[in-house]
Structure 1
Amino acid sequence: MDAVRANLGGFQVKICGVIQYANLFGVAIGYTIASSISMAVNRSNCFHKQGHQAACNVSSTPYMIMFGVMEIIFSQIPDFDQISWLSIVAAVMSFTYSTIGLGLGVAQVAETGKIEGSLTGISIGTEVTEMQKIWRSFQALGAIAFAYSYSLILIEIQDTLKSPPAEAKTMKRATLISVAVTTVFYMLCGCFGYAAFGDQSPGNLLTGFGFYNPYWLLDIANVAIVVHLVGAYQVYCQPLFAFVEKTATQWYPDSKIITKEIDVPIPGFKPFKLNLFRLVWRTIFVIITTVISMLMPFFNDVVGILGAFGFWPLTVYFPVEMYIVQKRITKWSGRWICLQILSGACLVISIAAAAGSFAGVVSDLKVYRPFQS
């Protein structure tokens, strides 16, 4: 938001702020849904004991509540600078479950000796209709876009870096390495997962491996996912927390409820800074995201909507426009036209992804009963 203000200014700053913070709110919902799926590790144990034909249905509601309670506690960490350790743990856990998922996919293909599925994707007629396949393909575009949602907090992360070397130089190198590594993992996990399951590939790839041994390895992977999401939830929500609290302080600078910090002594550690406004508002925030997650626990659809909503404006449009301003690219020049074509193509992708994801939500709501399914 500050970058847009410095380069573009005007009404675009407000548009950027609304989209960015709405997307951070949505990410919190998506992570809550994802965590509840992985927290139900007893589901994979049920399949292991009773076979993959067993009715091992598990309600996600209790697990969402558990995740929400954990986030209420971690949300009391005052600011972004103090969660670096949580971010490191989350990164290690992400590498852990990705490696397990990839390894199990390779092992499954090697064990069966054949590759499931086809280059054209799920078969029309046996599993889905032609229109359903189109909607799901669009939805998948949103899911891919969501996988790169780090752009929402890229500058906030850069602001926590120490210099020298220059923050921008360090962040550019870190971004290049991280995007390359994650893309390789995403592609390998997706390709080997589809090769292992074909048309039966689940939305959450690791839940599909619950039908096979070693089930205990699946438990480890799902625990790693939950730990990762606990940390990632905070990494994404801290900028939103900081924005609301900064705004409240500007509006009511004399309010002790908002500004007063209470030292809570902790034996062996520094006193914990407790703020009444922070305690109440962050708790309410987590409760709201948890309740919404329980009302719409559709992982693939919600992720697709979030990816579609935030991808084009925050990852493409604003960065492209700021680049044009910084480099003083002449309007209607070849370079300007190429950048606009790129932006327009990504806008079309986002619209298609949103349409497919909303179609999925409508379809799910026809059979879903809140707090019961």
Structure 2
Amino acid sequence: GVTIGYTITTAISMGCRAIGRSNCFHRNGHNAACEASNTTDMIIFAAIQILLSQLPNFHKIWWLSIVAAVMSLAYSSIGLGLSIAKIAGGVHSKTTLTGVTVGVDVSASEKIWRTFQSLGDIAFAYSYSNVLIEIQDTLRSSPAENTVMKKASLIGVSTTTTFYMLCGVLGYAAFGSSAPGNFLTGFGFYEPFWLVDIGNVCIVVHLVGAYQVFCQPIYQFVEGCARSRWPDSAFLHAERVLRLPAVLGGGEFPVSPFRLVWRTAYVVLTAVVAMLFPFFNDFLGLIGAVSFWPLTVYFPVEMYMAQAKVRRFSPTWTWMNVLSVACLVVSVLAAAGSVQGLIKDVAGYKPFKVS
């Protein structure tokens, strides 16, 4: 689900879509009919991921995580800077304490559905928890992995929370009730077009790396299960060493027929689903809703209480379960809002169309 969401997000920001439209608006004016297709960009993104997916394991992509983190900081800063400039420019957008106005902007039921959907969009920010164990597994044992991971999580979550809150608050102050789902691609910002283009390039580079961070554990899990299930299969266990030419840095690169077929099929599948349902807010909201409670709350809470031997009906046990149930309610409401939004989107949608 996360990798499908990343495919959608990247396609929105890539050359044919966001960058092409930004340049078109700059040349032809903000009211020009600058249309573009997501499909071409998704195919390009999938081709890149097929190549990167042949990296044999999680340890080989540490540098990709660093690049992705730097890109995330860069495009967030660009978005914030453009929002501040728009606010300082004196163009006052319609803002209210409670958001869009019932009876003016939306109906009462539509506002409720949108509120539920927004919970899913927020919950999507917690998808990082899915790969914490795999990241911890790449750390050296001195100092202790859990000590390093606690510090890294504190810094990472504090940084992303700060940027997410600033983007949300300043983005709303800049655009008001007409704020786009992705304010670097919703074209509230037209100028300076080159800075918007740089921001979108940073998004693309970030998500190229982030896709691998999330799918590599899936690859290894499936491959490990398959090799354990069929230990005598030559296809599953075959490994060849490819010697790279000097122009590509030289060295040796392991190639596996099973890895090539299975990982390519995975990337193609995620790209096809993304092409069929390229709805940014609703799809990300659904993924966030479905994954938030079980993977971010329920299993970690249950594992902690089992490991710490928390006594049933003790204050800790009670409040942990209150937290879990409350987050389950959030996930259910978010899923309902996102499904309603997807049904509405699909009603008049034609796959692979130019938009």
Q: Deviations over 1:268-292 (max 9, x none)?
A: 3221100000001111111111001
**Structure 2: distance between partners of 1:137 and 1:276:** 47
Aligned residue for 2:182?
A: 204
Q: For residues 286-315 of structure 1, what are the alpha-carbon distances to aligned partners after superposition, in whole Å with 9 as ceiling and x for unaligned?
A: 111100100000111110011001101111
Q: Match for 2:325 among 341, 344, 360?
A: 344
Q: Shift of the alpha carbon at 1:320?
A: 1.2
Alpha carbons 1:48, 1:212 under 8 Å: kept: yes
Could you tell me which residue of structure 2 aligns to residue 139 of structure 1?
117
Name the structure 2 match of 1:21.
none
Provide the identity percentage: 57
Pick aligned residue for 2:4 from 29, 35, 59: 29
In the alignment, which of 280, 289, 299 is matched to residue 299 of structure 1? 280
1:64 equivalent to 2:45? Answer no
Which secondary structure state, in structure 2, belongs to the residue aligned with residue 145 of structure 1? helix
Q: Which residue of the partner structure matches residue 348 of structure 2?
A: 367
Contact 2:93 2:173 in 1 (8 A): yes
Q: Deviations over 1:112-151 (max 9, x none)?
A: 2646411101122333221111111111111111112110
> Is 1:78 the equivalent of 2:56?
yes
CA distance in 2, matches of 1:82, 1:247: 21
- 2:190 touches 2:196 (CA, 8 Å); kept in 1? no
How many residues were matched structurally? 348
1:74, 1:273 → 2: CA distance?
13
CA distance in 1, matches of 2:44, 2:243: 27
**Correspondence 1:44 to 2:44:** no
| Structure 2 counterpart of 1:15 | none
Task: Give the superposition deviation at 1:33.
Answer: 0.3
Identify the residue that residue 11 of structure 1 maps to in structure 2: none
SS in structure 1 at match of 2:185:
helix
State the 4+ residue runs in structure 1 displaced beyond 3 angstroms: 113-116, 208-211
Bigger shift: residues 254-263 or 232-241: 254-263
Aligned partners of 2:346 and 2:76: how far apart in 1? Answer: 31
Aligned equivalents of 1:138 and 1:205: distance in 2? Answer: 20
Partner of 1:290: 271
| 1:263 and 2:241 aligned | yes
- Alignment RMSD (CA, Å): 1.2
The change in CA–CA distance for 1:117 and 1:73 in structure 2 (over 3 A counts) is same
Gaps of 5+ in 1: 1-25
The aligned counterpart of 1:19 is: none
Query: 1 CA distance for matches of 2:105 and 2:188?
Result: 21
Q: Which residue of 1 aligns with 2:315?
A: 334
TM-score, normalised on structure 1? 0.91
Matched, 1:353 2:334: yes
Cα deviation for residue 35 of structure 1 reads: 0.4
Look up the match of 1:274. 255
- Secondary structure of the residue that 2:5 maps to in structure 1? helix
Matched letter for residue 244 of structure 1: V
Judge which range, 277-286 or 330-339, deviates more: 330-339
Q: Which residue is 1:228 aligned to?
A: 206
Once the 2 structures are TM-superposed, how far is the Cα of residue 328 of structure 1 from its aligned partner?
A: 2.0
| Contact 2:13 2:203 survives alignment (8 Å) | yes
Choose from 93, 106, 112 the match for 2:90. 112
- More displaced stretch, 349-358 vs 321-330: 321-330
CA distance in 2, matches of 1:115, 1:62: 34
* 1:194 is aligned to 2:175: no
Deviation at 1:326, TM superposition (A): 2.1
